Amino acid sequence: MTDFQANTRHPIFNVGDLIVVKSGPPEVHCRTPTYLRGVSGSIVQIMGEYHNPSLLAFHKTSVSKIWLYRVNFEQADIWRKYSGPNCDTVAADLYEHWLIPA
């Protein structure tokens, strides 16, 4: 397999799955917002497979690619003092290695 071939494995998560964003320390070039770490959300779209942006930032690629998901979070779950409508959400595109099942 070359850098330009897609993985043959399927995504771990499906649309509608509940997840939690890992709380670990950031990678050197992390694309996961700190304010979302430890927060629960739901998968709303599978965006596809992409090379790891943490490696690409340093002009490196890997053979395997990482699944990218669009995840919705309720505002009240992110911001403790949020006083807006309960239906307000935040959407974020997050890579699979930052997500765990809820």
CATH number at residue 35: 2.30.30.50
Q: Pull the structure tokens for residue 19.
A: 């997840």
Q: Is this structure's pTM higher than 0.95?
A: no
Residue 57, pLDDT score: 67
pLDDT tens by residue, 35-87: 999 999 999 999 999 888 777 767 777 767 889 999 999 999 999 899 999 89
Query: What is the domain count for the chain?
Result: 1
Query: Which residue do the tokens 């304010």 mark?
Result: 35
pLDDT interval class at 26 (50, 70, 90): low
Q: Which residues contact 68 (CB under 8 A, 6 or more apart)?
A: 46, 47, 48, 49, 50, 93, 94, 95, 96
Q: Considering the domain boundaries, does residue 8 fall inside one? A: no
